[in-house]
């Protein structure tokens, strides 16, 4: 499908009109791991528990995190932490339901420093876990796993892909992925760092690679307001000139058209969870006020 016919994600140019180059081994994956770790020590009750989060971060990062807990209690950081916990919980809840339907392949797109494969509660029932990410990110993760003495199960396959320049479908086929068997795909915190072309490539690769009955859950940023689109590039340029690199949001989504766009691509069913739905699932009974307020959502689609 041609990019101009896909109305969901839209490119947001930099002030120079070109796409900013993303360091795919950069802070986004570590930020998610820090969010999961902070949730462990700050929030009661837990939405999601990742007992390996601190180990993969390392002792130095853990010390910095614990020494700055007050900074993590601002409204914005609490909201982001709630979103990180909720999206991880939702993905693993949906994976459990897929396994009940005899799905035996799990593909983590943009795996970053995700730890599911190393605390897998399903054992041999989940035969294969494919961790897909940029080669430099995977190299960093392997070093951290070794330093933390976290063993790598035989079920794990690392699939090195640069989503901006390589086809996911080709890499999956080379890795031993079974296209004749259903699979469960997750993609959290990834699309906000990719160009429109790369987002389309990932989605079409899932359609081309997976069999009927496969599912995909991904997180996505909502369409920014007009003011954010106008002033966002100038703000990013100012921050970058100051030497503080930030991730560039190259694509955003319009939830009102996203479901129909995905159906045109080949998905037979899709549903969106926004902050309201995530809060109803995971935050309704909380007394501490932890809520998802991020302008982001989750989408579950089925082939």
Could you read off the pLDDT of 233-288 as tens digits, one per residue? 443 444 344 444 444 445 678 888 899 999 999 999 999 999 999 999 999 989 99
- Angle, CA 238 vertex, CA 295 and CA 34 arms, to 5°: 50
Lowest mean per-residue pLDDT among 15-19, 220-224, 294-298: 15-19
Looking at the DSSP bridge assignments, the partners of residue 108 are 131, 186
Q: What is the pTM of this model?
A: 0.85
Please say if the pLDDT value at position 122 is more than 60. yes
Going by C-alpha positions, the residue among 7, 8, 11 that lies closest to residue 229 is: 11
H or E element: which one contains 273? Answer: strand 269-273
Which stretches of 148-195 are DSSP H helices?
168-175
Q: What SS3 state is found at 268?
A: coil
Helix, strand, coil % in the chain, rounded to nearest 5: 45, 15, 40
Digit-coded pLDDT (tens) for 9-50: 333 322 333 333 333 434 468 899 999 999 999 999 999 999
């Amino acid at each position: 499908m041609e990019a101009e016919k896909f109305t969901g994600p839209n490119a947001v140019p930099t002030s120079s009109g070109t796409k900013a180059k993303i360091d795919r081994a950069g802070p986004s994956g570590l930020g998610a791991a820090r969010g999961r770790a902070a949730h462990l020590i700050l929030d009661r009750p837990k939405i999601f528990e990742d007992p390996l989060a601190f180990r993969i971060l390392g002792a130095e990062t853990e010390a910095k995190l614990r020494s700055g807990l007050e900074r993590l209690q601002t409204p914005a950081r609490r909201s982001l932490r709630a979103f990180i916990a909720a999206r991880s919980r939702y993905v693993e809840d949906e994976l459990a339901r897929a396994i009940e339907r005899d799905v035996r392949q799990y593909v983590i797109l943009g795996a970053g420093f995700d730890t599911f494969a190393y605390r897998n509660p399903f054992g041999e029932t989940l035969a294969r876990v494919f961790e897909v990410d940029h080669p430099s990110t995977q190299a960093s993760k392997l070093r951290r796993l070794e330093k933390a003495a976290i063993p790598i199960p035989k079920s794990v396959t690392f699939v090195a892909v640069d989503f901006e320049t390589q086809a996911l479908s080709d890499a999956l086929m080379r890795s031993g992925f079974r296209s004749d068997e259903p699979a469960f795909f997750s993609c959290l915190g990834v699309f906000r760092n990719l160009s429109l072309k790369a987002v389309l490539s990932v989605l079409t690769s899932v359609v081309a690679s997976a069999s009927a009955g496969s599912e995909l859950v991904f997180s996505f940023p909502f369409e920014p307001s007009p003011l954010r689109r106008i002033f966002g590039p100038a703000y990013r340029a100012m921050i970058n000139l100051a030497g503080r690199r930030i991730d560039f949001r190259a694509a955003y989504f319009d939830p009102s058209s996203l479901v129909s766009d995905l159906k045109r691509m080949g998905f037979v069913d899709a549903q969106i969870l926004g902050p309201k739905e995530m809060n109803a699932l995971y935050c309704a009974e909380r007394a501490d006020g932890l809520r998802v307020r991020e302008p982001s959502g989750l989408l579950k689609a089925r082939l």
